C-alpha cells in the first residue's frame, strides 16, 4: 500500500492525543492548574492535528462531513463520530476541572472509554480488510491501542516533569512498562505479517488464475502500459533491505532511545534535567512511530497486487 504521509501523521498523533485524553479522564497526571491546562490543551492539540491531517488524504476534503453519515457500515465513519463525541465529552469534563475546580469522575470515565473506542475504530479501518492479509488480525487493533497508551504516558510524564511534579517519576515508570508491552505486541505483529503474504492467504497470482498447480505463474504482459490510480495507491514495492533498516530505526527511535532517556527520571524523579530528557524521549518516540507507521503501510500487500504481478524488491 502507498504510505501517504498525511495518514501516517494522523494515526501517530491522534493515537497519542486520544490516549492522553483517556489518561486525563481517568485521573492520571499531576496536581496544579498550570499542568491541567497544559495537559488538556496538549491532548486536544495532538488529537485535532491528527484528525485534520487525515482529511488531506481525501480527494475532496470539503466533503469530509459526508463520511459521518455512513456510521452503520463504515469504520471510517464510526471513527469520525467517535472522535467528535470524545472531544465533546472531554471538553465538558475539562471545563469542570479547569474553571470550576471540580472533577466529575463519571464524565472522565466516559471520555476515557470514548477515546479508546476512537483508537479502536481507527485500527479497524485497517484490521477489517481481508484483502490485506498483514492487517487482517486482532494484533493490529492491539498494537494501535498499546502504542496509544504508551505514547500518552510518555507525553504525560513529560508534561509533569515540566512543572516539577512528583507525578513525572510514576508516569515515567508506567511509560517504560507500556513501551515494552507495545513493542512486544509490534514484534508479534511483524511475525504475523511475515507469515501472512498474499500467497499464504490464497491470493497469489497462481490462485487468482487457477494455474498455480502447474508451477510458478507470472504475467506475460503488464495489465497497463502506464501507472494508474490503483497501482499508485494499492501496489507499493519496498526492498527487503530498506524495510529491515527502517524496522531497526523504528525500534531504536521508538523504543530503545525513549526507555534509556526516561529511565533516569523513573529512578530518580523529576529533578535536574528530567524535562529535557523526557522531551527528547517523546520526540524520539514520535519519530520512531512515524517510521513504524510508514512501514505499516509500505509493507502491506493488497490482493489487487496479484493482478499487477507485484513482487517485493530485493
Question: How many other C-beta atoms are found inside a 10 Å radius of the C-beta of residue 137?
Answer: 17
Q: What is the separation of C-alpha 28 from the centre of its chain, rounded to a whole number of angstroms?
A: 21
Angstrom distance (rounded) from CA 22 to CA 28: 9
pLDDT at 314: 38
Residue range 174-193, pLDDT digits in tens:
999 999 999 999 999 999 88
| 48, 19 contact by CB (below 8 A) | no
pLDDT surpasses 50 at 313: no
Is residue 55's pLDDT more than 90? no
What phi and psi values does residue 268 have, to the nearest 5 degrees? -110, -15
- Name the residue among 98, 94, 96 with its Cα closest to residue 86: 94
Cell numbers describing residue 143:
498494537
C-alpha cell at 79: 471513527
- Site of grid cell 492479509: 133
**Least confident piece of the model among 36-50, 60-74, 128-142, 176-190:** 60-74
Note the pLDDT of residue 244.
85
For residue 312, the model assigns a pLDDT of 44
Residue with cell 501523521: 9
Which triple of cell numbers denotes residue 71?
456510521
pTM, full prediction:
0.85
What's 196's DSSP letter?
A: -
**Domains (ranges, CATH) in the chain?**
5-306 (1.20.1630.10)
Query: What are the CB-based long-range contacts (under 8 Å, 24+) for 39-42?
Result: 39/156, 39/159, 40/90, 40/94, 40/97, 40/98, 42/155, 42/159
Determine the Cα angle at 235 with ends 231 and 238, to 5°.
Answer: 135
What's the farthest any 2 CA atoms get from each other in the chain?
Answer: 74
Query: 3-state DSSP helix/strand/coil percent for the chain, to nearest 5?
Result: 75, 0, 25
Instruction: Report the distance separating Cα 151 and Cα 55, nearest Å.
Output: 23
- Quickly list DSSP for 117-172: HHHHHHHHHHHT-TTSTTT-SHHHHHHHHHHHHHHHHHHHHHHHHHTT-THHHHHH
pLDDT digits 0-9 by tens, 178-236: 999 999 999 999 998 887 765 655 556 666 666 666 767 666 666 666 666 556 655 66
Determine how many CB atoms are found less than 10 A away from the CB of residue 222: 12
**Grid coordinates standing for 6?**
498525511
Residue 183: alpha-carbon gap to chain centroid: 12
On average, the pLDDT of the chain sits at 83
Nearest to 163 by CA among 260, 17, 271, 262: 271
The whole-number pLDDT of residue 222 equals 63
The closest of 72, 91, 71 to 80, measured between CA atoms, is 71
Spatial distance between the Cα atoms of 8 and 13, rounded to a whole number of angstroms: 9
241-276: pLDDT as tens digits: 777 888 999 999 999 999 999 999 888 877 777 889
Amino acid at each position: 500500500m502507498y504510505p501517504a504521509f498525511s495518514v501516517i501523521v494522523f494515526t501517530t498523533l491522534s493515537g497519542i492525543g486520544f490516549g492522553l485524553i483517556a489518561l486525563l479522564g481517568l485521573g492520571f497526571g499531576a496536581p496544579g492548574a498550570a499542568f491541567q491546562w497544559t495537559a488538556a490543551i496538549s491532548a486536544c492539540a495532538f488529537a485535532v492535528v491528527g484528525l485534520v491531517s487525515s482529511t488531506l488524504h481525501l480527494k475532496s476534503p470539503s466533503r469530509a462531513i459526508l463520511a459521518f453519515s455512513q456510521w452503520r457500515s463504515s469504520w471510517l465513519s464510526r471513527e469520525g463520530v467517535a472522535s467528535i463525541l470524545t472531544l465533546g465529552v472531554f471538553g465538558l469534563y475539562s471545563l469542570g476541572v479547569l474553571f470550576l475546580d471540580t472533577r466529575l469522575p463519571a464524565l472522565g470515565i466516559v471520555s476515557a472509554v470514548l477515546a479508546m473506542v476512537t483508537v479502536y475504530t481507527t485500527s479497524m479501518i485497517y484490521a477489517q480488510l481481508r484483502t490485506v492479509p498483514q492487517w487482517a488480525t486482532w494484533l493490529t487493533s492491539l498494537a494501535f491501542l498499546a502504542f496509544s497508551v504508551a505514547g500518552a504516558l510518555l507525553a504525560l510524564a513529560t508534561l509533569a516533569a515540566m512543572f516539577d511534579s512528583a507525578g513525572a517519576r510514576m508516569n515515567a515508570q508506567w511509560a517504560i512498562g507500556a513501551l515494552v508491552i507495545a513493542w512486544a505486541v509490534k514484534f508479534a505483529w511483524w511475525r504475523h505479517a511475515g507469515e501472512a503474504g498474499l500467497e499464504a492467504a490464497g491470493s497469489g497470482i497462481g490462485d487468482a488464475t487457477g494455474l498455480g498447480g502447474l508451477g510458478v505463474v507470472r504475467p506475460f504482459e503488464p495489465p497497463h502500459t502506464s501507472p494508474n490510480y490503483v497501482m499508485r495507491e494499492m501496489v507499493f514495492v519496498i526492498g527487503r533491505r530498506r524495510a529491515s533498516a527502517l524496522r531497526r530505526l523504528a525500534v531504536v527511535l521508538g523504543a530503545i532511545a525513549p526507555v534509556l532517556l526516561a529511565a533516569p527520571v523513573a529512578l530518580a524523579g523529576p529533578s535536574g534535567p528530567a524535562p529535557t530528557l523526557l522531551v527528547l524521549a517523546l520526540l524520539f518516540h514520535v519519530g520512531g512511530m512515524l517510521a513504524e507507521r510508514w512501514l505499516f503501510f509500505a509493507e502491506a500487500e493488497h490482493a489487487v497486487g496479484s493482478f499487477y504481478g507485484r513482487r517485493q524488491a530485493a
